[in-house]
Amino acid sequence: MTFSKADKQHPVIGDVYMIAGSTGPLTQPAASGKDTLSIQSATAATPGPVCEGPPQCQALCPTVDFTKAQPALTAAAVQQQLTQCANAMRTSPGSFASIINSVCNYADFETDITQPPRPPFIADSFLSTVAENHANDMATTNIFNHYSQNGSSPYDRMKVPFPQLTVVSELIAAGWTDVQSVMVQFMCSAKHRNLLTSCAYDTIGWGVEYAGEPGGAAVSAQWPTYITADLACSVGTACTCSSTPQVLRSAVALPSLSTPYSNAQPLVTFVATLQS
């Protein structure tokens, strides 16, 4: 999906991407590489809410413009904020009812996202690097699409570090400059909300590119920010709201932002559903 220059003034969220492959548990490959992003460790995941009550939970979803922070925030710092906010809304959505009601009607989907209670995502640094690569690609090539400039799909990109993943999804957004706003927009879109609150995923990786980001790409695109969320099930197709997340181990070294992704395995070899 691409948008014309006329849409520049309006932040957007993209269509969702979902793919389901063959069934079976994930056999974790041996690790050969090193996590380098300073985000929440997979072993830090807890089974219950990550916060209690509106004040505490809302504090995990900053409303300040992260593109204008002084000193400037790194991508890893914004990824941390996005992970914390997603987990706060996922585990304690009622704490955001008044905020969500300013955009959509929380009561319309309250039961759907609270029963059963959702556990928090674990944040994976390899998955975040995959998401960061895609945010970088969109920002530098002026596209807004789940498919990269080289034609690789989200699954193509995620299978590089995790070739045995069978259930993945991706969300993208552009133009939003504070964490809370983009998360509320995701929650008020049924397709995006269904993924962020789904029991079928237990692991998340965030990518963000914005003009002026320390060490980031030279953003020469329609929107000032590009955000990607990559979701996966760490135990193959068996993720539930009561399952224990596994620590994903990458089969390859952590890719750099300059590493192109291969499209050697066509998407048509899997059962895919793209929603628009």
HEC assignment per residue over 217-236:
CCCCCCCCEEEEEEEECCCC
> How is domain 12-26+49-217 classified at the architecture level of CATH?
3-Layer(aba) Sandwich (3.40)
Report yes or no: 15 and 157 within 8 Å, Cβ to Cβ: no
Mean pLDDT calculated for residue range 74-87: 93
pLDDT at 235 (0 to 100): 75
SS3 171: strand
First-to-last C-alpha distance (Å) of the chain:
10
Q: What is the pLDDT of residue 251?
A: 65
Question: Above 60 in pLDDT, residue 61?
Answer: yes
pTM of the model: 0.78
Sequence-separated contacts (24+) of 63-68 with Cβ below 8 Å = 63/178, 63/179, 63/180, 63/181, 64/178, 65/177, 65/178, 66/177, 66/178, 66/179, 66/210, 67/177, 67/210, 67/211, 67/212, 67/213, 67/224, 67/225, 68/177
The confidence score (pLDDT) of residue 62 equals 96
Of 32 and 119, more confident: 119
197-237 pLDDT, tens digit each: 999 999 999 999 987 777 665 566 678 899 999 999 987 66
* pLDDT tens by residue, 107-150: 999 999 999 999 999 999 899 999 999 999 998 888 889 999 88
**Chain segment 198-207, per-residue pLDDT in tens:** 999 999 999 9
Per-residue pLDDT of 140-178, as tens digits, reads 888 889 999 888 999 999 988 888 888 899 999 999 999
All structural domains of the chain with their residue ranges: 12-26+49-217
Report percent pLDDT > 70 for the chain. 70
pLDDT tens digits, 238-262: 788 888 887 777 766 655 543 333 3
User: Above 70 in pLDDT, residue 44?
Assistant: no
Mean pLDDT of the chain: 76
What is the rounded average pLDDT of the residues 186-196? 94
